Amino acid sequence: MLVMTPPTASADPPPVSPQAQAAGLVDVLSIVPDAIIDLRYATPNNFVGQQLYPTGARCLIHQDMVAGIVTAADILRKNGEVLVFWDCYRPHDVQVRMFAAVPNPNWVARPSEYARSHESGRSVDVTLADGHYGTRVDMGTDFDDFSPRSHANATDGITPGQQANRARLRAAMAAGGLSAYSGEWWHFDGPGAKDPRPILDVPLN
């Protein structure tokens, strides 16, 4: 008999690096301790097929996203669900490697001389999980599924239940002032995500 162990909230994470502090980045687990951190780019289980982040990489977001993420997490928690983070702050050199692997700006943002979105810590890639067992909610596709079914409001090949799950995630994030990206149901932007900023050089651990 398979016994599933409920996820437990992590202990207080250690302080972020001085570079992260200077850039205004915080560890998601310091504000949403019951979040599930599943950074795909810290494993080979991603579209590049290689580990792009160091083992033990942390989910860092800019402090401007904190209030929105906390609000979304609080709403979802009342429904018995928790946020699962697939990606947060992304170093520029990783963005370069990603675009080299998939040079299609419809799916991977073209690197530039500025930091936007993930590169500035102002975007996250998330899904939902059952708050007791940690079972992922069925959204109809996996992360980084480069097909029309990944579109936030896709209906072709996406069941009504899967559409409702996506809508519930969008509603919670919107309540926190976080904007959905129409091309990827998992991607959400925080305040100022599209504004060009100096490229950061922040370690992920």
200 assigned to some structural domain: no
Using one digit for the tens of pLDDT, what is the confidence trace for 123-173? 999 999 999 999 999 999 999 999 999 999 999 999 999 999 999 999 999
Classify residue 117: in a domain, yes or no.
yes
In this prediction, residue 197 has a pLDDT band, given cuts at 50, 70 and 90, of very high
Nearest CA-CA partner of 69 in 42, 39, 41, 29: 29
Mean pLDDT, range 59-79, rounded to an integer = 98
Question: With contact defined as beta carbons under 8 Å apart, do 173 and 68 qualify?
Answer: yes
For tokens 């009342």, what's the residue? 78
Is residue 137 a part of any domain in this protein? yes
10 pLDDT above the threshold of 60:
no
The reply to whether the predicted model has a pTM over 0.75 is yes
Assess if residue 202 is contained within a domain. no
CATH number at residue 163: 3.30.1380.10
Residue 159 lies in a domain: yes
Q: What is the pLDDT of residue 4?
A: 42
At residue 36, φ and ψ (nearest 5 deg) are -100, 125
184 included as an active-site residue: yes
Say if 78 falls within a structural domain: yes
Domain contains 7: no
User: Are residues 116 and 109 in contact, defined by beta-carbon separation less than 8 angstroms?
Assistant: yes
Tally of domains within the chain: 1
pLDDT band at 3 (very low <50, low <70, confident <90, very high): very low
Residue with tokens 């170093």: 91
Percent of the chain surpassing pLDDT 90: 92
Given a cut of 90, whether residue 100 has pLDDT beyond it is yes
Residue 196 resides in a domain? no
Stated as kind and residue range, the H or E segment containing 18 is helix 18-22
Range of the domain at 125: 18-189
3 state SS of 171: helix
